[in-house]
Amino acid sequence: TVAAHPELLDRELPSLDTRVDMTADAVPKLAQCAAAKAIAEWGRPAADITHLVFSTYSACQAPSADLRLAALLGLRPTVSRTMLSLHGCYGGGRALSLAKELAENNRGARVLVACSEMTLVCFGAPDGGNIVGHALFGDGAGAVVVGAGPFLDGERRPIFEMVSATQTTIPRTEHALGMRVSGGGIDFHLAIQVPTLVGQNVEQCLVDAFRGAIVDDDDHDGGAAPPPPSPCSGNGNGRWNDLFWAVHPGGRPILDKIDKVLMLEAEKLAASRHVLREYGNLSGATIVFVLDELRRGRSPLPEWGALLAFGPGITIEAMVLRCPR
């Protein structure tokens, strides 16, 4: 491919058309592989999917990749589609939050979330300034099915419950992390201050998310789930370690900073570190890989957990998760 398209290596040559043409089919086909597995595990036919949320930075044309994926999976013509584009590494978190809102506000809805990324749109010859980026980022797709009951015959019981979600943009950080489409593909900009900026703001984002999840004791009866822990002051009063953690592994410095700020025990970000080590940063799809790693773990998870994803803005997606008992 590179031999046939030398423009992919030389950023001075126009290559956007080539990149768009090559990813037009590849991105939805990659998503199809993940989505077919998710639907099979869900236990119902693809025709029962009512909504589709597709997140990618790797495809930019219309009709877009969500329509192509719907056709590949045989979804109904009436499926309600939403395309999230250029959200970058927080795209998976945003897609899950949107799916949660759709499922909760449309009785009987079953939302397919698909995230698919290919680095071809930004690949170029190593020039000394992009070696780390090429080593860090990878190609991949993840998919989940989201619903809010009532349960259907044959439907698998939920693995994670999304209880509360927030999105926060750190003011005056637009310069620190971003993407730009140019004639040579997509250019990324990542400032060295990003881990520090995330570290300075992540705890308040978590506090806000948990505040939204806390239910008054009067709302519970004997059969209801207990309220989530309330780690809402200074380092969570040590209670951040009571949770399981699904954190987007944007890079080792970001994970190290979160570890330090929240004073997490060594194994708390093990799933994120494993995904980073084995697959790299898959942008928006990475958080699905982390959730999958958590559910396949050998040890039982705590009942309550937290999800974090970061991307351009700087934007932080935070979510309170629960493992149904």
Active-site positions read 89
d(CA 149, CA 137): 36
CA angle 314, 316, 317 (to 5 degrees): 145
* E-only strand ranges, the chain: 51-56, 80-85, 110-117, 140-147, 161-169, 177-182, 185-190, 244-247, 304-311, 315-322
Which H helix or E strand runs over 152?
Answer: none
Buried b (16+ CB within 10 A) or exposed e, 113-133: bbbbbbbbbbbbeeeeebeeb
d(CA 139, CA 181): 19
- Could you give the C-alpha distances from 114 to 35, 67, 240, 319, in angstroms and in order? 7, 12, 29, 18
- Residue 320 phi, psi dihedral angles, 5° rounding: -95, 125
Q: Which tokens belong to 74?
A: 């045989």
Amino acid identity, position 7? E
d(CA 3, CA 83): 33
Residue 174: count of CB within 10 angstroms of its CB: 12
Q: Which residues contact 162 (CB under 8 A, 6 or more apart)?
A: 96, 97, 100, 146, 319, 320, 321
d(CA 233, CA 210): 11
- Which residue bears the tokens 């993940």? 34
Contact between 184 and 12 (Cβ < 8 Å) = yes
